[in-house]
Each structure stands twice: as structure tokens, then as C-alpha cells.
Amino acid sequence: MLHTQAISATDKPTLYAELAQQARGLFVGERNLIANAANFSALIYHALPQLNWAGFYLFDGTELVVGPFQGKPACIRIALGRGVCGTAAQQRQTQLVRDVSTHPNHIYCDAASQSEIVVPLIHADGSPPLPRPPHLPPIYHALSVQDMHDLGAYFASQTSRPGVADQALVEPGETLFRQGDATRDIPACMACHSIDGRGNPGAMYPQLAGQHAQYIEATLKAWHDGASWGTDAHSQIMPTIATKLDAKDIAALASYIEGLHAVEGTPAAAATP
């Protein structure tokens, strides 16, 4: 067993300085994430008074999965945006909740927990811990900037062939797409994606026309459930809208969008970088 010293400080700044020093000591010469996370949770758990849990949730590209910790068994998976941990990860902001019973979104794992502090960890190399669609990076990492421009130009030159997923849903879908629903604070999709779903390349609002209903549905549902494609303001636009959509709205929009025709014969304008 590694020996850490009992922490003697009574004021917080000195206590945290001592903890940080001990943590640095534990990490010397070791770069393994699991090993360091395990030792760090043990250090925190034993050094700080009145803790019943200290540990890590690790982002697996989709959601948070429990990692090394000290304390009672914990919830295994937490969706982004859910609970105090999911909120910290989604907003990339430390959450300090003094009384969890007042937190609107708290997940009860252990009734003894009264307060929580969750600090989001962000890769030191600046790479986003919340990647764009997680299955894509291996593909686009191999592309040069020129390749991306060329692919973009090729896709923009294609004409989409619309279908219809479910005729019965097209009408409610059209109403939401064109008018939104002011009573529920849902904006009209066409305000950004244009009336024929062609998008607005200059503002980076993507083309929707020609997308399969299944894809639209899965994408909106993931945003509804707390996923996002990034952490900048632009990436929060769709998650914010999608949380206001229920499953029926999403199915209706997906059916309508699959049937959208980009205006015949005029391919979408290529984005100018």
C-alpha cells in the first residue's frame, strides 16, 4: 500500500494544496488513466471527511460510464444531461450542489448522499471529450482539408430523391416544420433549414431534404436525450430545440423531412469555407 499522509490543515486552501501535492506524488511516472483515477479516488475518499463516494465517470463517446471509485456501488451509465454528473459533462461546468434534494435532475444512487461536487475533465490536448458523431472521427481524421472540400462539393451537386416514411404523419410534421409551435416554444425548422429543407450553408445550417426518416428520428432523439455534437454555442442549438420535441413530434418531423424535395434541378449551393 502507498502511504499518504494524514491531512492536518483545517482551512480549505491549505487542505487542497496538501491534497494536490499528494496527488502529484501518486501520479509521478505513471500515465495509466485507470491506475491514476483509482488512486486519486482513494486519496480523496480517505483524506476528506464525511465523504460517502469519490470517483470517476468516463465518457465512452455516447454516455458516462462509471470508472474507478471508492464507496458503495454506483449507477453504471448516465446519459449526458442527466443528473448532476450528466449536467457537468454536457455543460463542461463544475456542479456544486449543496442539497441534492433540491436538484431538479438528481439521480438517487445512495440516499445518504446530501451534496455533490462534479468537476468535468477535459482532455489536455484540447480534443473535445464530446466528439461529433462518435462513429465518424476514424473516417474524417484520414481526410485532408482539400478532401473535405471536394467531398462537400460532390454531395452538393447531387439531387436528393425524396420518399415518404408515413403519410399519416406528414401533415403534423409539416405544421411543425413550417410554423413551429409557439405554445411550446418550438421554432419553425424552416427558419434555419429553409422551406424546402435545403439548409443555409453560410450559417452552417445543414440540408435536411433527402435524409432518411430513420436518421432524422435517431438524430433528434439523441439530442432530445442529452447528446450534442460539440460544446460551442452552435452545437447547442439543436439539443435545445430537441428537448422540447416529444416522440410523436419527432416521428412526424422525420416523415415530413424524408418527403421534402429540394427545388427540382437546383442542387444545394456549395458551402464557401
Q: CB of residue 251 vs ligand HEC: minimum separation in angstroms?
A: 11
Q: Name which of 152 and 187 has its Cβ closer to ligand HEC.
A: 187
Q: Name which of 68 and 173 has its Cβ closer to ligand HEC.
A: 173
Q: CB of residue 118 vs ligand HEC: minimum separation in angstroms?
A: 24
Lookup: cell for 259: 418527403
Q: CB of residue 123 vs ligand HEC: minimum separation in angstroms?
A: 19
| Alpha carbons 22 and 140: distance in angstroms, whole number | 41
Q: Name which of 42 and 89 has its Cβ closer to ligand HEC.
A: 89
Q: Name which of 64 and 253 has its Cβ closer to ligand HEC.
A: 253
| Alpha carbons 243 and 246: distance in angstroms, whole number | 8
**Burial category of 182 from C-beta neighbours within 10 Å (exposed 0-12, middle 13-18, buried 19 and up):** exposed
Q: CB of residue 172 vs ligand HEC: minimum separation in angstroms?
A: 12
Q: Name which of 44 and 253 has its Cβ closer to ligand HEC.
A: 253
* Site of interaction with ligand HEC (CB under 6 A): 176, 186-187, 189, 191-193, 204-206, 208, 211, 216, 219-220, 229-230, 234-235, 237-238, 241, 253
For residues 219 and 227, the answer to whether their CB atoms sit within 8 Å is no
Q: CB of residue 105 vs ligand HEC: minimum separation in angstroms?
A: 22
Q: Name which of 44 and 216 has its Cβ closer to ligand HEC.
A: 216
Q: CB of residue 224 vs ligand HEC: minimum separation in angstroms?
A: 11
For residues 177 and 190, the answer to whether their CB atoms sit within 8 Å is yes
Q: CB of residue 193 vs ligand HEC: minimum separation in angstroms?
A: 6
Going by C-alpha positions, the residue among 53, 47, 44, 49 that lies closest to residue 7 is: 47
Q: Name which of 25 and 61 has its Cβ closer to ligand HEC.
A: 61
Q: CB of residue 125 vs ligand HEC: minimum separation in angstroms?
A: 22
Q: Name which of 122 and 237 has its Cβ closer to ligand HEC.
A: 237
